[in-house]
Amino acid sequence: MDPAELPETVTRFLAAHRVRDTPTALALFAPDATVTDDGATHTGGADIARWLDRAASEYTYTTELTGARHEGDDRWMATHHLAGDFPGGQVDLRFRFALDGGLISWLTIEP
């Protein structure tokens, strides 16, 4: 599907995450949301805020949205190509979202 067809919540999160805007990104999560990234799960606003801040400061990288897919009721996937100073230097990551009431209820990021 055309990435422009992703729900606004997903596109707003991806834009905020790309520029490392934690307050905007965090506002798009449900209060009891979970994020699974790099083998760890983060639950609730405070834990997700720490994850966002760490992800924003750990490495320097660029990201390009390379694909999108609707995976079922309120479930979406966005694929990004990242290049930067992290181990390996390049990776394609799948951001899988579930939305509930227009907010992100869970997000899983994996290669």
69 CB burial (10 A radius; 0-12, 13-18, 19+): middle
CB atoms within 10 A of CB 13: 25
pLDDT of amino acid 32: 97
CATH number at residue 14: 3.10.450.50
Total number of domains in the chain: 1
Q: Cβ neighbours of residue 39 under 8 Å, at least 6 residues apart?
A: none
Q: What are phi and psi of 49, to 5 degrees?
A: -60, -45
DSSP state of 22: H
pLDDT of amino acid 1: 81
pLDDT of amino acid 106: 98
Domain assignment of residue 16, given as a range? 3-110
SS3 18: helix
What string of pLDDT tens digits covers the 111 residues of the chain?
Answer: 888 899 999 999 999 998 889 999 999 999 999 999 989 999 999 999 999 988 766 788 889 999 999 999 999 999 999 999 988 999 999 999 999 999 999 999 999
